[in-house]
Amino acid sequence: MIKVRVKKGLIYLPVDVRERLGIKDNEELLLEIEDERIILRPLKTIFRLGIESRKVSKASVEEFERESEEMQRKLYGE
């Protein structure tokens, strides 16, 4: 468990945590409130996933759009 401080509403993440999770300056995080817990997760955009992922197949534009929309619904609950 890692202890952090809140100052003026800002939470500062230690460098080792940011490096471990690949969080860069000005990147967005998803914040969830679960009971009395705050859960922060890196927001993986479809573009970042595409860059970081191993390429295993070719997809048409239509297939890519369909997968993108499905992933956004899962991430944002829409």
Report d(CA 55, CA 39) in Å as an integer.
30
**Total length of the chain:** 78
Q: DSSP class of residue 36?
A: T
Determine what percent of the chain is predicted with pLDDT higher than 90.
23
Report d(CA 37, CA 40) in Å as an integer.
10
Q: Which domain holds residue 49?
A: 6-76
pTM flag (> 0.85): no
Q: What is the CATH number of the domain that holds 21?
A: 2.10.260
Q: Is the pLDDT of residue 15 over 90?
A: yes
pLDDT digits (tens, 9 = 90+) for 47-64: 777 777 777 777 788 888
Asked whether residue 1 is assigned to any structural domain, the reply reads no
Report d(CA 70, CA 78) in Å as an integer.
9
Determine what percent of the chain is predicted with pLDDT higher than 70.
99
